[in-house]
Amino acid sequence: MKEEQEEYSIIIKDVYKSFNVYYDKANTIKEKILFLFSRNKKEKRTVLEGINAKIKRGEVVALIGTNGSGKSTLLKLLTKIIYPNKGTIETRGKLTSLLELGAGFHPDFSGRENIYFNASIFGLTKKEIDRRLDDIIEFSELGKFIDNPVRTYSSGMYMRLAFSVAINVDADILLIDEILSVGDEHFQNKCFEKMLELKGEGKTMVFVTHSMGAVERLCDRTIWLSNGKIKLDGKTKEVVPKYIAETR
């Protein structure tokens, strides 16, 4: 049993996640009077319901589904940005994530300073960052802009820096949201090739995207989420055609 458990990087057991949505945000005096007797009115929305999945070490898995299906919420649960209302999630190994552009960046720090700041969050020491600094800057292609405050960066430049840091922390597990849809085609292709390289190195990856072409090229397994539940979990070549046929 122990050997069987050790082959998995991620184990998701019976996970539920819900959020409270409040409706009493009054902006005018009239609205405040109308809402006076219905304060804290809220609705509980279940985003994920009974999710079970095991992801093996070295497996590259796509999470697909229409907007609102729960893909990004599940990814945030895996990073422990948020926690489930019920169920458990186990991750084994060093984890890095690309969920939101510039998450963990300080807007007034330069790109170079943010490399140190962000990489330290992923657990690297200053000496380890020193050794990788040139590689990170070179991959980002930011050149002279690396010493400018990141608040002056475009969304594409943010993505370049965030991706460059994330792939250079030697993580065992990479969680990637729709971030690769940002930026120019050249850098998107460069990032994708790097992900194929990491796949070849045996890294575990969970990839959220609406690009079925990317899923088919990168992922051997695909989990299709619909209304917060797993509708289908299997080989990409079997899941993607069914998903396309239903959502076309």
- Which SS3 state, helix, strand or coil, does residue 227 take? coil
Q: Which residues pair with 21 in a beta bridge?
A: 43
Region at 210 (left for phi over 0; alpha for psi -120 to 50; beta for the rest): alpha
Provide CB contacts within 8 A for 149, sequence distance 6+.
107, 108, 109, 110
Q: What is the mean pLDDT of the chain?
A: 87
Percent of the chain with pLDDT strictly greater than 90: 60
Q: Which domains does the chain have, with CATH numbers?
A: 57-247 (3.40.50.300)
Q: Span 24-49, mean pLDDT? A: 67
- Which pLDDT value is given to residue 3? 47
pLDDT above 80 (res 32)? no
pLDDT per residue as tens digits for the range 98-122? 876 556 788 999 999 999 998 998 8
pLDDT per residue as tens digits for the range 194-235? 989 999 999 999 999 888 998 999 999 999 999 999 999 999
pLDDT above 60 (res 129)? yes
pLDDT above 70 (res 12)? yes
Percent of the chain with pLDDT strictly greater than 70: 86
Tell me which of 73 and 39 has the higher pLDDT: 73
In 10 A of CB 131, how many CB atoms?
12
In 3D space, the residue among 146, 138, 207, 215 whose CA is nearest the CA of residue 173 turns out to be 207
230 contacts 48 by C-beta, under 8 angstroms: no
pTM score of the predicted model: 0.85
Task: Tell me the H-state helices in 142-184.
Answer: 155-166
Rounded distance, CA 200 to CA 184, Å? Answer: 25
Rounded distance, CA 93 to CA 206, Å? Answer: 14
